[in-house]
């Protein structure tokens, strides 16, 4: 590589500015990353990965991965929303036991404020279940998620999915069918988010959606 080319690369790097990626209010507005960019617009849509333990300072949350997508840039701050989360593969493997059953449920739900999310719930029982019991537990998973989505905003739904409230509600409702050893939202993915056009925003009317 010629010296002029190296110089151009160095100059281009010097022109870049560092931006702090901040989690949304429902995850404490914490700085989780610093990203260089020569134009703020190039940060839009970028995804940053971290763990829940980095936010809560609780090592027991190390197995939960969080993905934040940048949606707004102001000055040197890049604001984000939760794009999704998931259990680490090691943690999932650690939950498997002989003589027990694993029950999975995958559901698309729409929050009160119009965000559509794919939610994957997993339950591990204390003993093997019959087909009828598995069907009943999966039905409870669906009912809890649909009720929550109807009542909660996306912010609130994210908080309850990641921090275990939804899993706890499912656990309590399935006790009479089959005691569970673990149940939780193992993965979530934001599919679409509402978009408010400038002219409709003043009137408070939501007319369109966009993929995230």
pTM of the model: 0.84
Burial of 145 (0-12, 13-18, 19+ CB in 10 A): buried
Residue-wise pLDDT tens digits, 174-209: 999 999 999 999 999 999 998 754 434 443 433 334
- Residue 206 pLDDT: 32
Per residue in 55-103, pLDDT (tens digit) is 999 999 999 999 999 999 998 999 999 999 999 999 999 999 999 999 9
- Which fold does the domain 95-194 belong to in CATH? Tetrahydropterin Synthase; Chain A (3.30.479)
Quickly state the pLDDT bin for 10 (edges 50, 70, 90): low
Question: Residue 78 forms beta bridges with which residues?
Answer: 21, 73
Instruction: Find where tokens 């978009």 sit.
Output: 195
Q: Specify whether the CB–CB gap between 129 and 146 falls below 8 A.
A: no
The pLDDT of residue 6: 59
DSSP symbol at 102: E
| Cβ contact 156:25 at 8 Å | no
Local confidence band at 16 (pLDDT 50, 70, 90 cut-offs)? confident
């Amino acid at each position: 590589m010629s010296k002029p080319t190296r110089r151009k690369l160095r100059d281009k790097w010097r022109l870049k500015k560092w931006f702090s990626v901040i989690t949304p209010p429902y995850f404490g507005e914490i700085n989780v990353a610093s990203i260089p960019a020569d134009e703020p617009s190039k940060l839009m849509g970028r995804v940053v990965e971290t763990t829940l333990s980095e936010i809560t300072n609780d090592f027991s949350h190390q197995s939960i991965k969080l993905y934040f997508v940048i949606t707004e840039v102001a000055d040197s701050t890049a604001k984000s929303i939760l794009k999704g989360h998931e259990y680490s593969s090691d943690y999932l493997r650690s939950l498997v036991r002989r003589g027990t059953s694993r029950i999975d449920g995958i559901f698309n739900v729409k929050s009160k404020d119009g965000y559509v999310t794919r939610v994957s719930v997993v339950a591990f029982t204390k003993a093997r279940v019959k087909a009828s019991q598995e069907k009943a537990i999966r039905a409870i998973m669906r009912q809890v998620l649909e009720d929550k989505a109807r009542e909660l905003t996306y912010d609130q739904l994210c908080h309850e999915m990641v921090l275990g409230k939804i899993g706890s509600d499912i656990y309590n409702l399935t006790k009479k069918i089959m005691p569970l050893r673990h149940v939780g939202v193992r993965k979530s993915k934001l599919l679409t988010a509402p978009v408010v056009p400038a002219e409709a925003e003043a009137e408070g009317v939501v007319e369109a959606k966009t993929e995230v």
